[in-house]
Amino acid sequence: MPTTFDLFGTLVAAERSDTPAEAVADALADRGVPVPDDWTVAYREPHEPVPEGAEQPLPDHVAAALASRGVDADGELVREATLAAFDRPVAVRDGARKAVVAAREHGSVGVLSNCSVPGLAERALERAGLDVDAVVTSVGCGWRKPDPRAFAAVADALDAEPESLVHVGDDPSTDGGVEAVGGRAVLLAETPLRELPELLEGRACR
């Protein structure tokens, strides 16, 4: 019985910048990338069409915003700056470690996270000291929860069928999307992490 977890807001709590455009600008400047005077405006503007349900990598958006103001930045520097801008300390949420351990007793364990910054989810898990079998992000697979293709991607990473997934998360509108592929959603508003071991044990005994 494979179990997948949402990451931010479910397994970990992370600091969030109130001014992401400024955080990115500072990280770009630290790497010698010229920041346009109207950067906040450029950052907020859409620069490329994004299909419904798809994820646009934030470094691509940042590069497009810079290009819209005549700045041709090195792609690797943009990727480094974008990760640095959002790589903040995380705290493991109450019950998360026991929930992951309990899930592993019943099968493979994965993380499925809506995250547009490459490497950020992996860095957060490393900081938190949480070990899972597979990490699938929207920026990695190209699709954001609740799109069924996101759940199909994490199921594939766990060598499982989408309908076999038990997905644990805090957001009904995104994490609840697993039900569209036949899986089961466990929402924290109804089942706190500390109660997950008992729920999984009961499901395994059916």
Domain ranges in the chain are: 3-15+90-204, 20-86
- pLDDT by residue (tens digit) across 129-157? 999 999 999 999 999 999 999 999 999 99
Task: Enter the tokens of residue 117.
Answer: 């910054």
Give yes or no for residue 196 having a pLDDT over 50.
yes
At 92 the pLDDT is: 97
Q: What is d(CA 169, CA 94) in angstroms, rounded to the nearest whole number? A: 14
Task: Taking residues 67-91, report their average pLDDT.
Answer: 96
Task: Enter the tokens of residue 53.
Answer: 């349900």
- CA 6 to chain centroid, in Å, comes to 7
Task: Enter the tokens of residue 144.
Answer: 């954001």
Q: What is d(CA 171, CA 98) in angstroms, rounded to the nearest whole number? A: 21
Task: Taking residues 71-78, report their average pLDDT.
Answer: 96
- CA 21 to chain centroid, in Å, comes to 19
Which residue in 151, 193, 139, 202 sits closest to 175, CA to CA? Answer: 151
Q: Which fold has domain 3-15+90-204?
A: Rossmann fold (3.40.50)
Q: Which of 22-31, 93-102, 196-205 has the lowest mean pLDDT?
A: 196-205
